[in-house]
Amino acid sequence: MEGAAPKILFADVAGVDEAKTELEEIVQFLKTPERYTKLGAKIPKGVLLVGPPGTGKTLLAKAVAGEAGVPFFSISGSEFIELFVGVGSSRVRDLFDQAKKQAPCIVFIDELDAIGKSRSSGGFYGGNDEREQTLNQLLTEMDGFSADGKTVIVLAATNRPETLDPALLRPGRFDRQVLVDRPDKSGREAILKIHAAKVTLGPDVDLVAMAARTPGFSGADLANLVNEAALLAARAGRTAVSQADLAEAIERVVAGLEKKSRVLNEKERRIVAYHEVGHALVGALNPGSGKVEKISIVPRGMAALGYTLQLPTEDRFLQSKEELETQIATLLGGRSAEELVFGSITTGAANDLQRATDLAEKMVTGYGMSQVLGPLAYQQPQNSFLGGGTMGRSVSPATAEAIDNEIKAIVEAGHHKALEILRHNRGLLEEIAEKLLENETMEGSQLHEWLSQVQTPAPVAA
């Protein structure tokens, strides 16, 4: 619960430029609150930093206080778990009392999920009393302090935003969220530079090459890497860190990481790159579901190996049959690219296939878009035993079979369409995939320019 202003600045954090830009404004609020309050604007109270472990959330929170030159108070949610009832809430009260005395300042709550877990997820017997009281106290404090005109901004960090109690995310609480993601290649280079500046480097060290060899590393992993290399050099009695030390340190850090997350080998990276570009190329011909804004092959934990981000250009509530069909083709674009280029299929497309199948099922059973089955709704809510309220159908076996056949036909048609588009644009597919392998992410106008070259294949008779 220290109080002094940290010496850490934004310059000590790298590879998270978006997050820094958003937090820049918080620094301004702390430095010159009058500028905003004079106009009647309310200063935000809570900002949630969301991202995987070791990406620099704590570091960024300190840097906000450091840049603004204000005191920094912090607690961690996990400290409260073992406490007796009542202790957690009184700690929260004390913390905010101190903070208000020293306003403007930052209160940082690490591991917010440990106190802020959704109350409904507490289990049959109502969950943990202590946690609930602590959470309520926190909500009370946050609701209270605007009234007394003190600028206390609460920053909190979590890597599990989906588990948080919705009460925490309401307006006036943690209503701003800032994504702190794993760095891409140029981000890793910048982070390596920061940490390498603290050790003595030999003349052969090439940080650009090191950045290229560390996809998936977080900022903390990179800091650890530099430190391991320095230890190796010191153990060997050398006076500077060499490229070989860094290379060996990578092995060590990777060995530690392999248990936690996946580090892709070169073959896998190629497959993921072609897969994502496959989605992007097919998606580029489908303006109905938005522009492709970003492709990334920076690994993110277990879930997705890469991703393609398609943002809607306008709010859409109605979608035509053709749009849904192209959406299915886009979902199959990843797997189709793998088939086309590598002649084999990996498990990476499982989620895509599930989503494509779900969409096709909705078209047939919910939207009446199938010629064969006609405009009937075959979906009806069924109460499952545990009250899940899942959708299921109770139809005759013959109809069920017809539905399955229709779903299969729709998905297959999407698959063919995707293959056709990719065959027709094979050269572009390779060019963009190679570019992506080089840079790991592609976005904005550079990406739009590439994708504007995608050509619609000439229609062939079915």
Residues annotated as part of the active site: 276
336 binds Mg ion (CB under 5 A): no
Q: What b/e sequence results for 7-23 when a residue is b if at least 16 CB atoms lie within 10 Å of its CB, and e otherwise?
A: ebebebbbbbeebbebb
Q: Measured between alpha carbons, how far is 74 from 112 in angstroms, rounded to an integer?
A: 11
- Rounded CA-CA distance 401/419 in Å is 27
**14 lies in the site for ligand ADP, by CB under 6 A:** yes
The smaller minimum CB distance to Mg ion, of residues 112 and 281, is found at 112
Residue 352 contact among ligand ADP, Zn ion, Mg ion, none, beta carbon within 5 to 8 Å by kind:
Zn ion
Q: In whole angstroms, what is the distance from residue 6 CA to residue 98 CA?
A: 17
**59 belongs to the binding site for ligand ADP (CB under 6 A):** yes
Name the nearest CA neighbour of 156 among 110, 123, 87: 110
Contact 245, 198 (CB under 8 A): no
Q: Pick out residues in 174-193 that bind ligand ADP (CB under 6 A).
A: 191
Q: Provide the Cα torsion 157, 160, 164, 166; round to 10°.
A: 100
In angstroms, rounded to a whole number, what is the distance separating the alpha carbons of residues 86 and 47? 26
Task: Return d(Cα 378, Cα 224) in angstroms, integer.
Answer: 56
By C-beta, is 18 or 143 nearer to ligand ADP? 18
User: Looking at 56-64, 124-132, 325-333, 376-384, which segment touches ligand ADP (CB under 6 A)?
Assistant: 56-64
The Cα-based distances of 271 to 168, 213, 298, 354 in angstroms read: 40, 17, 13, 20
Using Cβ positions, the residue closest to ligand ADP within the complex turns out to be: 219
CB 280 → ligand ADP: shortest distance, Å? 27
Task: For the CB of residue 278, give the shortest distance to Zn ion in the complex, in Å.
Answer: 8
Nearest-approach distance from CB 115 to ligand ADP, in angstroms: 17
- CA dist 94 and 104 (Å) reads 16
Identity of the residue, 58 or 296, whose beta carbon is nearer to Mg ion in the bound complex? 58
Both tokens of 425, joined, read 């644009």
Compute the distance between CA of residue 197 and CA of residue 204 in angstroms, rounded to an integer: 15
> Could you tell me where the DSSP H helices lie in 286-393?
321-342, 350-365
What are the strands, taking DSSP E only, across 99-217?
Answer: 105-110, 152-158, 176-179
- Considering the complex, what minimum distance in angstroms separates the CB of residue 113 from ligand ADP? 13
Pairing of strands 176-179, 152-158: unpaired
Tally of CB atoms within 10 A around 288: 17
342-401: contacts with Zn ion (CB under 5 A): 352
**Who's near 448: CB < 8 A, 6+ residues apart?**
291
What is the total count of residues that contact Mg ion (CB under 5 A)?
Answer: 1
CB closer to Zn ion, 77 vs 334: 334
Q: How far apart are CA 177 and CA 388, in angstroms?
A: 29
Q: Considering the complex, what minimum distance in angstroms separates the CB of residue 305 from Zn ion?
A: 9
| Residue 58 near Mg ion by CB under 5 A | yes
Which partner in Zn ion, ligand ADP, Mg ion, none is near 332 (CB below 5 to 8 A by kind)? none
For position 202 contacting ligand ADP by CB under 6 A, the verdict is no
- Helix, strand and coil content of the chain, in percent to the nearest 5, comes to 55, 10, 35
Q: How far is the CB of 117 from ligand ADP (least distance, A)?
A: 19
220 binds, among Zn ion, ligand ADP, Mg ion, none (CB under 5 to 8 A by kind): ligand ADP
Query: Is residue 219 a contact point for ligand ADP (CB under 6 A)?
Result: yes
Of 6, 47, 58, 73, which one interacts with ligand ADP (CB under 6 A)? 58
Answer for the pair 222, 195: CB distance below 8 angstroms, yes or no: yes
Contact region for Zn ion (CB under 5 A) — 77-85, 211-219, 326-334, 357-365? 326-334
At closest approach, how far in Å is the CB of 313 from ligand ADP? 32
CB of 452 to ligand ADP, least distance (A): 33
Residue 334 binding Zn ion, by CB under 5 A: yes
Question: Taking contact as CB under 5 A, which single stretch among the options 53-61, 321-329, 406-414, 442-450 is the one that binds Mg ion?
Answer: 53-61
Q: Is 225 in the site for ligand ADP (CB under 6 A)?
A: no
Contact between 420 and Zn ion by CB under 5 A: the answer reads: no
Name the residues that contact ligand ADP, by CB under 6 A: 13-16, 53-59, 157, 191, 194, 219-220, 223
Name the residues that contact Zn ion, by CB under 5 A: 334, 352
Name the residues that contact Mg ion, by CB under 5 A: 58
